Amino acid sequence: MNFENGFYTALGTPLDENGNLVEASLRNHINQQIDAGASGLLLMGSMGIEAYIKNSAYADIVRVAADEVNGRLPLFVGIMDNSIVKVKEKIDMIGNAKIDGVVLTTPYYAVLDTPQMVNWFTSIADASPYPLYLYDLAVVTKTKITLPVIDKIINHPNIKGIKTADWEMIQAIGRKYPNGDFECFYSGLDSFDYANMMGIGKNLDGMFSCTPHNGRKMFDCIKLGDYALARKYLDNILLLRDTMIAHGLMYSFTYCMNQLGCEGGFHQDYCLPITNESKKVLTDTMKQIGEI
């Protein structure tokens, strides 16, 4: 399946104080993204704190998201974990929900060599009823998905693509497999404008969750070939991201999502609240860039 160019949003996951899904908030979040023109959604990626969600909430989150999306755009689901049997268990939890693929990093507890990575991805691809997309997130997992790994698994009938910020690897895949059925989703937020100029048109990131207005504007400009104006909207997104990082990324993410009318906590449960001063800075920044 070939997916259209545009922005793909890694959704946040709104939870209550007991770690249960805030259903109305997730539905609202999804519709904000659809209204903004997102080309697809990733549920429970890294911004969606998949690794921190309790098992009893996992299936409910997938069910609600699949029900709300209802085939209006592609929906991918994160299945990251630290063993093949645990990943298979998550796939079983998805049940028969209508989704378009599952997304998987390397394990985030141990470092894998190339044969282990090949075994990891192919074993799960063999078992999955859904297409498998790789998630290159070495900053967290400590194991980089490399081109030699791609070479060994790209012809697997159920491995369909990769999410990566590795510009050179995307170019290498394009050169080496120009006619292949292997999607590349670029996640290098800082260079989305330039990536599109160079023909890399599928951009995936969690910051679109709290910047739907700027995401829409940026990609409207890209469609018109106005990369100078697109850069302005990308700079707005980067300004909010950098402000969030300066004041505590994930709790700031919760605050920004709440300002957009999406209730619940979008952060890990060990995060400490941000100060009122930080909230004011975030509010001012969201107003400055036109999100509220």
Q: Which helix (H) or strand (E) holds 150?
A: helix 147-153
Tell me: the pLDDT tens digits for 138-160?
A: 999 999 999 999 999 999 999 99
76 - beta bridge partners?
Answer: 42, 101
- Give the integer Cα–Cα distance in Å for 78 and 42: 7
1 pLDDT above the threshold of 80:
no
For residue 96, the model assigns a pLDDT of 92
For residue 180, the model assigns a pLDDT of 78
- Give the integer Cα–Cα distance in Å for 120 and 135: 13
Tell me: the pLDDT tens digits for 58-84?
A: 999 999 999 999 999 999 999 999 999
pTM above 0.95, yes or no: yes
- Give the integer Cα–Cα distance in Å for 25 and 31: 10
For residue 103, the model assigns a pLDDT of 98
Assess if CATH 3.40.605.10 describes domain 6-225: no
Tell me: the pLDDT tens digits for 251-265?
A: 999 999 999 999 999
Largest CA-CA distance found in the chain, in angstroms, rounded: 53
Record the tokens describing residue 180, joined without a space: 């292949």
- Among the listed ranges 2-6, 9-13, 271-275, which one has the minimum average pLDDT value? 2-6
Q: Output the average pLDDT for the chain.
A: 97
Tell me: the pLDDT tens digits for 41-59?
A: 999 999 999 999 999 999 9
2 pLDDT above the threshold of 90:
no
Q: Which helix (H) or strand (E) holds 33?
A: helix 23-36
Tell me: the pLDDT tens digits for 101-120?
A: 999 999 999 999 999 999 99
- Give the integer Cα–Cα distance in Å for 236 and 265: 24
Tell me: the pLDDT tens digits for 168-187?
A: 999 999 999 988 789 999 99
**Please, are residues 292 and 259 in contact by the beta-carbon 8 Å criterion?**
yes
Q: Which amino acid is at 271?
A: C
128 pLDDT above the threshold of 80:
yes
